[in-house]
Amino acid sequence: MVERTVLAGARVVLPTGVAEGGRVTIEGGRIAHDAPAEAPTLDLTGHTIVPGFVDTHVHGGGGASFSAGTAEEALTAIRTHRAHGTTTMIASTVTGDLDDLARQAAVLSELAEQGDLAGIHFEGPFISPHRCGAHQPGLLRDPDPADVRKLVDAARGTARMMTLAPELPGGLDSVRMLADHGVIAAVGHTDSTYEATLEAIDAGATVATHLFNAMPALQHRAPGPIAALLEDERVTVELINDGTHLHPSVLELAFARAGADRVAFITDAMGAAGMNDGMYFLGPMGVEVKDGVARIADGPTAGSIAGSTLTLDTAFKRAVTVDRLPLEDAVRALSTTPARLLGLSDRIGSLEPGKDADLVVLDDSYDLVGVMRKGEWLVGPEVR
């Protein structure tokens, strides 16, 4: 634990803007007001400091999966993403038998209770068979509120989000129940219409699960869920910025319509994140990773994109170098907005006094060289 130190000379991305030659003071695991002149100082001239990244949708990494149902695999995935700058994450499951999902939730809830995770995201099984993507079709079911409640209860207060298709029988009632229990209802893997999506938003849905992916395309006479989710100020839209899931012009469209305050970059990463090409699993589904792109290996959904191998440091670099987003907007999408979505903006998501000392140090090419979580260096930084 860093007791007191000053990170000086870097470009620091603050809520008020970018401070050239700025300073960040760390004391007792938190960001503090500026320290006395004699405090130990680390010269980070030529670097950029941003808040730790927050991932609201991640299934695994480092060869491990949150759906494996073991603390060992979950911790491997957590460590992998922390090394890439994700200092806060919620664990996403994938469609499975309800009893299996409940057992996974029991393991993951313990990790959430001890602070390794910020909660659990259930993606499936309450999704459309017409838009199931990498989810096993035979395990899908309608979102009966009693079944939805079973998973929420299994998480013992750590359920943060659930993705469902609101057009299915029981969908709207389940959205209302989730909202009443403080769980984010996310619209995704859906065949919903524009009108039905608006109904879901009015019922309490506040997130678009990986917008554009696993839902009807935007049509000029049938705008579908995409238009409804983009236009409503109550909705935060997830985007997978890996260059595979979205064309750059589509990402630009989402930012232009929703704005950085309503965009949350996610990884949707499966176990191959941080690993080489090869064969992996996403829940019960075999996945082949080739050239960094994960696809279902066989069965009725063979060839479907199966999550990603993305890490958020790569998403950040792409945002500012390829997509040409301003630094402030990239920070909002990777840190500030997802922190607020999870109700954690009083502790994380920006570099402000009193908040946890969660931060990422980038070099002049925006490659990650340092990660600090709660005042402890997990990676580097290598300062020359």
- d(CA 20, CA 312) in angstroms, rounded, equals 24
Residues 137, 41: one domain?
no
What is the phi/psi pair of residue 237, to 5°?
Answer: -105, 130
123 annotated as a binding-site residue: yes
112 annotated binding-site participant: no
Q: Is 221 annotated as a binding residue?
A: yes
Is 306 annotated as contributing to ligand binding?
A: yes
- For residues 20 and 104, state if they share a domain: no
Give the whole-angstrom CA distance, residue 210 versus residue 245.
9
Taking the CB of residue 353, how many other CB atoms lie within 10 A of it? Answer: 12
pLDDT, tens digit (0-9, with 9 covering 90-100), for 294-344: 998 887 878 888 889 999 999 999 999 999 999 999 999 999 999 999 999
pLDDT for the residue 34: 80
Q: Cα(377)–Cα(26) distance, rounded to whole angstroms?
A: 11
Q: Could you say which DSSP state residue 323 is in?
A: S
293 & 367 share domain: no
Task: State whether 25 and 85 are in the same domain.
Answer: no
Q: How far apart are CA 281 and CA 65, in angstroms?
A: 8
Same domain flag for 159 and 236: yes
How distant, in Å, are the alpha carbons of 61, 187, 351 from that of 119? 17, 18, 22
What is the pLDDT, as a whole number, of residue 283? 81
DSSP track, 39-94: S-EEE-TT-EEEEPEEEEEE-EETTEEGGG--HHHHHHHHHHHHTTTEEEEEEE--
Residues 254 and 181 in one domain: yes
What is the bridge-based pairing of β-strands 86-92 and 53-58? parallel
**With contact defined as beta carbons under 8 Å apart, do 285 and 134 qualify?**
yes
> pLDDT band at residue 136, thresholds of 50, 70 and 90?
confident
- pTM to 2 decimal places: 0.96
356 touches 374 (CB < 8 A):
yes
99 in a domain, yes or no?
Answer: yes
Put residue 89 in one of left, alpha, beta given phi > 0 → left and psi -120 to 50 → alpha: beta
Comparing 116-125, 181-190, 200-209, 272-281, the range with the smallest average pLDDT is 272-281
Residue 379 has φ and ψ, to the nearest 5°, of -140, 130
Is 214 annotated for ligand binding? yes
Which pLDDT score, from 0 to 100, does residue 382 have?
Answer: 65
Q: Are 114 and 140 found together in one domain?
A: yes
Is 175 inside any structural domain? yes
Q: Is 189 annotated as a binding residue?
A: yes
Residue 118 lies in a domain: yes
pLDDT tops 70 at residue 383: no
Listed in sequence order, the residues at least 6 apart from 256 whose beta carbon sits closer than 8 Å to its beta carbon are none
131 neighbors 169 (Cβ within 8 angstroms): no
Tell me the pLDDT band of 200, cut-offs 50, 70 and 90.
Answer: very high
Q: What is the pLDDT of residues 367-376, one digit of tens each?
A: 999 999 999 9
Same domain, 212 and 269: yes
Catalytic residues: 268
Handedness of CA 344, 236, 210, 196 (dihedral sign): positive
Instruction: State how far the Cα of 123 lies from the Cα of 132, in Å rounded to an integer.
Output: 11
Distance CA 282, CA 284 (A): 6
Give me the domain span that covers residue 10. Answer: 4-50+350-379
21 Rama sector, left if φ>0, alpha if ψ -120 to 50, beta otherwise? left
| pLDDT higher than threshold 50 for residue 274 | yes
Model confidence at 193: pLDDT above 80 = yes
Number of folded domains that form the chain: 2
Asked if residue 105 belongs to a domain, the reply is yes
- Residue 220 in domain: yes
* Residue 305 annotated as part of some ligand binding site: yes
Mean of the pLDDT values across residues 100-123?
98
**330 labelled ligand-binding:** no
Does 384 fall in a domain?
A: no
Q: Is residue 155 part of a domain?
A: yes
307 annotated to a ligand binding site: yes
262 and 285: one domain?
A: yes
CA distance 384 to 371: 17
Residue 306 has what pLDDT?
86
Instruction: Give the per-residue pLDDT at 95.
Output: 95
Do 284 and 367 lie in one domain? The reply is no
List pLDDT tens digits, range 226-256.
Answer: 999 999 999 999 999 999 999 999 999 999 9
Residue 27: CATH number of its domain = 2.30.40.10
Query: What's residue 37's pLDDT?
Result: 66
φ, ψ of residue 336 to 5 degrees: the values are -65, -50
Q: How confident is the model at residue 168 (pLDDT cuts 50, 70, 90)?
A: very high
Q: How confident is the model at residue 285 (pLDDT cuts 50, 70, 90)?
A: confident
Strands 285-290 and 41-43: unpaired
Q: Is the pLDDT of residue 350 over 90?
A: yes
CATH of the domain at 206: 3.20.20.140
Residue 161 forms part of a structural domain: yes
Please tell me the distance from the alpha carbon of residue 46 to that of residue 11, in angstroms, as a whole number.
7
Q: Do 284 and 358 fall into the same domain?
A: no
Q: Is residue 384 over pLDDT 70? A: no
Tokens of 48: 């950029």
The kind and range of the H/E element at 373 are strand 368-373
**What phi and psi, each to the nearest 5 degrees, are found at residue 75?**
-65, -35
Q: Kindly state whether residues 68 and 18 are assigned to the same domain.
A: no
